[in-house]
Structures are given as structure tokens and as C-alpha cells.
Amino acid sequence: MCPQNICPPWLSFTLTNVFRRMFHNPRKILDRFVKSGDTALDIGCGPGFFTIPMAEMVGEKGLVIAADINQGMLDRVKRRAEAAGVSARIRLQLCESNRLGIGQQADFALAFWMAHEVRDLDRFFAEIRTLLKPGGAFLLVEPKIHVTARGYGEIVALAESSGLKPYEDVPIPLSRAEIFRDAEKKERII
């Protein structure tokens, strides 16, 4: 699962700037999926653009697991979480080259603009499926600029072959996005 091409920490300012928030407002994108008390996964969290708002959304009884293969990015999440006063709600997870290594199930998982960087998508999606609680949802978002419609279709097909069921297209600017659920687990009402 090791990323083919990961963003270095020094470039992380491009992922958290105010201009990005104009197109990708985390609260608007995640509001119907992340609830108070939830456990949420931010897979490939980078510097925490989605992690921090997710931690605010899950509240004091919730948890966000911020997972990344780059320790430098996790260090940035930690600093940003402390500044935002939500560090107690966030668990940082340094991923291995071939697995996420998360030992806790979640109500919601997010992979935003990162699946195209994963070498072993079959294994990646299979692991995500095992991490979803019954009724849990997985939001896959890929950038139109890097991933063609055909490439996105191939990624979705791999997710389906792992047992994740496409549930709904989600309109997100500059992106192709889909909500998935475990095909064998009972659905949670969103």
C-alpha cells in the first residue's frame, strides 16, 4: 500500500490554505456523515485539513484517527490539533508501507485525494472494509486533475471487488467522490 508519490511536509501549506477551504469546506462536505460521538478515520490525513474539523464534529465523546505514512505530516496534525484545542480527540497513526495498522473500527472513514497514490488498492480497500463498523460509511474522493474518469472507474471497481458497495455519488468540487458501505453489514441511516 505504500504511496507511489507522497507530498512532503514542507509542502503541506498547499493543503491547508484558505483558498482550498473555498472549494473544499470540510464541514460542508462531512456534515451529513460525521456525528457527535463517532469514531472517524482520516486516511492519508496530511497536515490535518479534514482531521481538525472532524475532531470538532465528533465532540468530546468522539475520536478521530488521523492516519498517514509520513511522520512529518502527523507532527503537523499534532501541532494544529493542540492549537485548536482538540488534541484529546485525535489519535495519530503512523501507517506502514503495506498496511494502515489501525486496530479500531470506525463509523466513518475518509480517503480524500490519496487513493491514487496507493500501490496495492486491493489490500487498502480490504483493510478499510474491516475497519468499518456495521452501518459505517467510507467516502472516497479523488482529484479530477490527477485521476481520469476511466482511472476513477478502475479505483471504484477495486473498492467494489473488496466488498465495499457504492452507495451514492457525492458532489465535491474538482473531484470525483462516492460513499461506500460494507456490502455485508447493515446500513446506518445518514
Number of structural domains in the chain: 1
Instruction: Tell me the per-residue pLDDT of 27-85, one tens digit each, with 9 for 90 and over.
Output: 999 999 999 999 999 999 999 999 999 999 999 999 999 999 999 999 999 999 999 99
Closest CA to 114 of 171, 57, 50, 183: 50
C-alpha gyration radius of the chain: 15
Distance, CA of 46 to CA of 53 (rounded, Å): 14
95 lies in some domain: yes
Report how many helices (DSSP H) and strands (DSSP E) the chain contains, helices first: 6, 7
Handedness of CA 67, 104, 180, 24 (dihedral sign): negative
59 lies in some domain: yes
One-letter amino acid at 164 equals: L
Closest CA to 139 of 160, 118, 167, 119: 167
At 110, which CATH number?
Answer: 3.40.50.150
> pTM value?
0.89
